[in-house]
Amino acid sequence: MPASTGSPSPEPSSSAPEPDTTTTADRPDTFAGKLGLGWRIHGDGRSVTPGEVVRPDERLSWPRTIGIGAQHVVAMFGATFLVPLITGFPPSTTLFFSGIGTILFLVLTAGRVPSYLGSSFAFIAPIGAAMGEYGPGGALGGVVMAGASLFLIGLLVQFLGTRWLQALMPPLVTGTIVALIGFNLAPAAKDNFMKAPVTALVTLASIVLVSVLFRSILGRLSILVGVVIGYLTAIARGEVDFAPIQEAWENEGLLGLPQFHSPEFHLSLIGLFVPVILVLVAENIGHVKSVSLMTGKNLDPVMGRAIMADGLATVMAGSGGGSGTTTYAENIGVMAATKVYSTAAYWVAAVLALLLSFMPVFGAAVASVPAGVLGGAATVLYGMIGMLGVRIWVQNRVDFSNPVNLTTAAIAMIIGIADYTWSAFGIQFAGIALGTAATLIVFHGMRGLALWRGTTGGVDPIQPDYTPVPKEHSGPMG
C-alpha cells in the first residue's frame, strides 16, 4: 500500500456525484470507445475550462497529455520502486508489471476510472516472511494467490454490490487492519536503519524537510527526493556498490528484457497473503469513491471491475516476478492539482513505465540503493501506513468509548505489532494474518453479543461518535 505524502484532498465538482452515462451518451460506439480510448478534446485542448475538470473520457492536446503522464510516472516512481528494493525483487520487473497492470485496469474499467497500479506496501511483510522460508518463487506464489482471491471478491462486488463488504469491514475493522500492517513492519525498518545510521538519518531528515518546505509537486514527492539525497550521501560515504551497474551495462547494454521468475505454490503461505486482500479492497473502494467526488460521476457500477482488474494485475505480476499492485494515492494528488482526470494521461504513464523497464542499467542503478537509505525511507513509509489506519478511524469518527471498538483494536494491534505466530494444519499464521482474523472475529463476535444482550445501551458500535468535544478539551483551532 502506497503512502501519500500530503496529497491535497479531492475537491468535488458537484455536491453529489451524478450517474455515469459516458458508456452510452458520451463515448463513441466503437471498439476503441468501448475500451475507453475514444477521448474527446476538452475545450481548446490547451487549458482546463474554469470551474470544470478534464474528465476521464476527455483529454488535452497530446503534448500536454504526455507531460501530465510523465508527472504520473514521477509521482508513482518512489513508492513503486521502494517495494522491490525492500523485498529483493528486480525493480525493472516490478516496473514492467506495474505498466502492464495499469493498462489492464484501464481496459477492464472501460477508461472510466483513472488510476495507476503500482507496488502495494501491504505485500512487504508477507513477501519478506515467504522469502525467508521458500525463496522468491514461494513469495511470488503467495502474490498470485492473493491476486486470485482479490479477483473473486471483485466478481462478487460486481454482481452483489458493496453493501456486504461494508457490513463485513466497517471503518473500525478497515482502519485496524491497515494500521497493524504498517506497524508490523517496524522491525524491518529498524534493521535497515541501523546498518548505516548516518545515511538513514540524512534520508529521514530530507524527507521531513522537503515535505514541509515545498507545497508544489516537489513536496508531494518528498520520499523520492529524500531517497535521492540519501543515495548521494551514501555515495559520499562509500556505501554504494557500483559493480552491478557496470555489469548490467557490459552484459546487456542500454536495452534488455526484465528478469522474469516463475512462482511456486505452498499452501502454508495462504495465511500470510490472503489478509492483504482486505487492504487492497479498501484501497480500491477508496480510490473509486475519490475519483467519483472529483469528477462528479457515480462510479459505483464499475467498483467490481476495478477490484477485479487489480486482482488480475496482481496475478500477472506474481506470475512473472513482480510485486502485488494497488491503486495509488500519489497519483490522485497529481489529478487534484492539475484537475486532469483523463485516462489518456495514464496510458502515457503506463507506456513510459514499460519503456523504462527495458533499460537494465536503470534497474541496476535503482537496485543499488543501500540499506541505510531504505531504512530512513521505510521509517516514514511504514509509519504512514500505520497512521493511514488511524486516519480511517478519525475520518469516520469511530467511537472508542464503546468497549467493542476499543477491545477489538487493542487486541488486533498488539497481535500485529508483536508479530504473534501460530501453526495449524501445516499452515503458518503470522502477525498480520492473526491480527486480521482477530479484528473480524472479535469485532463481529462482541458486537453480536452486545446487541443481543443490550449491553451497548442501544448504540451500535459501528455508529459514528457525534459527541461534541467539551470546550476545555478543544484545541486552538476549535
In a domain, 457, yes or no: no
Query: Is 407 a residue whose pLDDT tops 70?
Result: yes
Among 170, 448, 118, 179, CA closest to 310: 118
Residue whose cell numbers read 523497464: 357
C-alpha cell at 341: 482526470
pLDDT at 242: 84
pLDDT at residue 424 tops 80 = no
> Do 185 and 316 contact (CB within 8 A), yes or no?
no
Q: How far apart are CA 123 and CA 182, in angstroms?
A: 11
Query: How would residue 475 be classed by pLDDT, with cut points 50, 70 and 90?
Result: very low
In a domain, 454, yes or no: no
Average the pLDDT over each of 221-225, 342-346, 457-461, 465-469 and give the range with the smallest value: 465-469
Domain containing residue 177: 18-44+54-396
Instruction: Tell me the three cell numbers of residue 441.
Output: 472475529
pTM over 0.95: no
pLDDT of 213 > 70? The answer is: yes
| Mean pLDDT (whole number) for 428-437 | 77
Q: Specify the 3-state DSSP secondary structure of 58.
A: strand
Cα 156 from Cα 247, distance rounded (Å): 48
Which of 99-108, 284-293, 432-441, 456-465 shows the lowest mean pLDDT across its residues? Answer: 456-465
Predicted local distance difference test score (pLDDT) of residue 462 = 75
Q: How confident is the model at residue 129 (pLDDT cuts 50, 70, 90)?
A: confident
Confidence band (pLDDT; 50, 70, 90) for 414?
A: very high
User: Side chain identity at 40, as an amino acid letter?
Assistant: R
309 touches 109 (CB < 8 A):
yes
* pLDDT-wise least confident of 74-83, 99-108, 224-233: 74-83
Write the pLDDT tens digit of every residue in 314-331: 999 999 998 899 887 667
Mean pLDDT taken over the chain: 81
Is 197 domain-assigned?
yes
Segment 191-210, tens digit of pLDDT: 889 989 999 999 999 988 98
Does residue 3 register a pLDDT over 70?
Answer: no
Res. 478: pLDDT tops 50 = no
Residues 6+ apart with CB under 8 A from 168: 440
Whether the CB-CB separation of 82 and 340 falls below 8 Å is answered with no
Whole-Å CA distances, 303 to 3, 100, 292, 299, 324: 22, 20, 11, 7, 19
pLDDT-derived band at 10 (thresholds 50, 70, 90) equals very low
Q: Could you read off the pLDDT of 341-373 as tens digits, one per residue? A: 899 999 999 999 999 889 888 777 777 888 888
410 part of a folded domain: no
Whether residue 15 is predicted with pLDDT greater than 50 in this model: the reply is no
pLDDT of 285 over the 70 cut: yes
Is position 361 within any domain?
Answer: yes
Count Cβ atoms within 10 A of the Cβ of residue 38 and give its class: 0-12 exposed, 13-18 middle, 19 or more buried: middle
pLDDT of residue 309 exceeding 90? yes
Rounded Cα distance, 380 and 474, in Å: 28
Choice between 22 and 261, residue whose per-residue pLDDT is larger: 261
Query: How many Å apart are CA 175 and CA 164, to the nearest integer?
Result: 17
Residue 422's CB: how many other CB atoms inside 10 A? 14
- Please give the residue that has the higher pLDDT: either 59 or 467: 59
What percentage of the chain reaches a pLDDT higher than 70? 85
Percent of the chain with pLDDT over 90: 20
Does a structural domain hold residue 131?
yes
pLDDT band at 7 (very low <50, low <70, confident <90, very high): very low
Instruction: From residue 206, give the alpha-carbon distance in Å to each of 200, 218, 230, 327, 392.
Output: 10, 12, 8, 26, 27
Residue 226 has pLDDT above 70, yes or no: yes
Whole-number pLDDT of residue 150: 93
Query: Does some domain include residue 449?
Result: no
**pLDDT at residue 472, as a whole number:** 53
The answer to whether 388 touches 185, Cβ cutoff 8 Å, is no
Q: Which of 12-21, 178-187, 210-219, 300-309 has the lowest mean pLDDT?
A: 12-21
> Euclidean distance between the first and final Cα of the chain, in Å?
33
236, 224, 234: which is closest to 200 by C-alpha? 234
**Of the given ranges (49-58, 153-162, 407-416), which has the lowest mean pLDDT?**
49-58
Of 396, 394, 389, 405, nearest to 461 (Cα)? 405
Residue 252 above 60 pLDDT?
yes
Question: Got the DSSP string for 192-227?
Answer: HHHHSHHHHHHHHHHHHHHHHH--SHHHHTHHHHHH
Split into its structural domains, the chain has a count of 1
Q: Is the confidence at residue 40, as pLDDT, over 80?
A: yes
Residue 112 grid coordinates: 472510466
Say whether pLDDT at 118 is over 60: yes
pLDDT surpasses 50 at 9: no
Distance of alpha carbon 234 from its chain centroid, rounded?
28
So what's the pLDDT on residue 319?
93
- 4 or 18, which is more confident? 18
The three state secondary structure string of 302-366 is HHHHHHHHHHHHHHHHHHHCCCCEEECHHHHHHHHHHCECCHHHHHHHHHHHHHHHCCHHHHHHH
Residue 170 counted as domain residue = yes
